[in-house]
């Protein structure tokens, strides 16, 4: 049982949907953000809120498609969902700041939750991109009815038999691929260590501390994920196509826990009503 998450305040998606009637709620980010979106999709059905996207919503997506075709991925947001309150939901994949993709998102959604941190390794570039993006996001969030939440990057964990995460460095040098797989231990993710894995959040908070972007809010995520090192795919699943947990130790993505995502949704809700 997910006792840690149950100790946090929980929120039903119905509370968010009631607050955003006839508005478009978009999540934008990497595969961890998509996990959050998938959890919302599941919650929509579990709570009996799901209704088929109506013609107006589908027409809206089609009308905005040319904007997204100008971006890096050349595709519109996916996984459209609609709630009985009229709230519309979309997910857009983005791992870093792309001007055209962000411009399309601002034209598409009223409420945007986004994060790009995990895929940035150059913190100087991350700071530059945040300042550039936050100028646009702050203008968007300053309009009545619009909200922008920038989600913290989740905590990073590493496989237990990998000394302080150096396996990632070995992998980049090619030595990991050249190892003898028969010597692999069973996958187990370890508690977080002081390995510079929270640099992105330091940059994020420093940028917002300038006071230049008062309408952009931080959505906490790091502390929710930091103690969850036993809840990664590597600990609870076998990967498909023969990629078992001995050769693919995933300590980044999270096993599904309704309590975890309902706790995260409570943080979203508290900022929507602020």
For 211-261, write each residue's pLDDT tens digit. 999 999 999 998 888 877 666 655 555 444 454 444 556 677 777 788 888
Confidence class of residue 141 from pLDDT cuts 50, 70 and 90?
very high
Range of the domain at 85: 3-272
Beta bridge partners of 218: 150
Cα–Cα nearest to 152, from 224, 231, 218, 251: 218
Q: What is the dihedral of CA 127, 128, 134, 136, to 10 degrees?
A: -170
Confidence class of residue 165 from pLDDT cuts 50, 70 and 90?
very low
Q: Is the pLDDT of residue 171 over 50?
A: no
Per the prediction, the chain carries an average pLDDT of 83
pLDDT of residue 225: 82
Q: Which helix (H) or strand (E) holds 201?
A: helix 199-208
CATH number for the domain including 214? Answer: 3.40.50
Q: Is residue 125 within 8 Å of 155, Cβ to Cβ?
A: no
Count of other CB atoms within 10 angstroms of residue 127: 16
Q: Is the pLDDT of residue 181 over 70?
A: no
Encode pLDDT of 82-106 as tens digits: 999 999 999 999 999 999 999 999 9
| Number of domains comprising the chain | 1
Report the share of the chain in percent with pLDDT over 70: 75
Mean pLDDT in residue range 63-70: 90
| Separation CA 22–CA 26 (nearest Å) | 13
Mean pLDDT in residue range 59-65: 93
Which of 2-11, 29-38, 121-130, 162-171 is the least confident region? 162-171
Strands 111-114 and 78-83 turn out to be: unpaired
Which carries the bigger pLDDT value, residue 70 or residue 272?
272
Encode pLDDT of 35-58 as tens digits: 999 999 999 999 999 999 999 999
Q: Is residue 67 within 8 Å of 107, Cβ to Cβ?
A: yes
Q: Is the pLDDT of residue 5 over 60?
A: no
């Amino acid at each position: 049982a997910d006792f840690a998450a149950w100790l946090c305040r929980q929120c039903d998606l119905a509370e968010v949907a009631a607050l955003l009637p006839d508005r478009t709620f978009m999540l934008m980010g990497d595969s961890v953000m998509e996990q959050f979106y998938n959890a919302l999709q599941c919650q929509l059905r579990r709570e009996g809120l799901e209704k088929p996207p109506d013609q107006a919503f589908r027409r809206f997506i089609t009308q905005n498609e040319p904007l997204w075709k100008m971006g890096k991925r050349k595709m519109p947001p996916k996984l459209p969902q609609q709630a009985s309150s009229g709230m519309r939901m979309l997910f857009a994949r983005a791992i870093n700041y792309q001007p055209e993709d962000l411009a399309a998102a601002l034209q598409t959604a009223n409420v945007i939750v986004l994060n790009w941190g995990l895929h940035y390794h150059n913190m100087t570039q991350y700071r530059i991109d945040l300042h550039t993006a936050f100028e646009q996001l702050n203008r968007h969030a300053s309009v009545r009815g619009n909200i922008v939440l920038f989600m913290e990057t989740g905590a990073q964990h590493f496989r237990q038999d990998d000394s302080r995460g150096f396996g990632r460095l070995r992998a980049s040098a090619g030595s990991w691929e050249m190892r003898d797989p028969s010597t692999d231990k069973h996958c187990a993710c370890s508690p977080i260590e002081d390995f510079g894995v929270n640099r992105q959040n330091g940059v994020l908070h420093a940028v917002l501390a300038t006071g230049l972007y008062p309408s952009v809010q931080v959505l906490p995520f790091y502390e929710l994920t930091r103690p969850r090192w036993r809840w990664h795919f590597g600990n609870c699943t076998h990967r498909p196509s023969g990629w078992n947990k001995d050769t693919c130790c995933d300590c980044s993505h999270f096993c599904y826990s309704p309590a975890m995502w309902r706790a995260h949704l409570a943080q979203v809700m508290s900022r929507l009503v602020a």
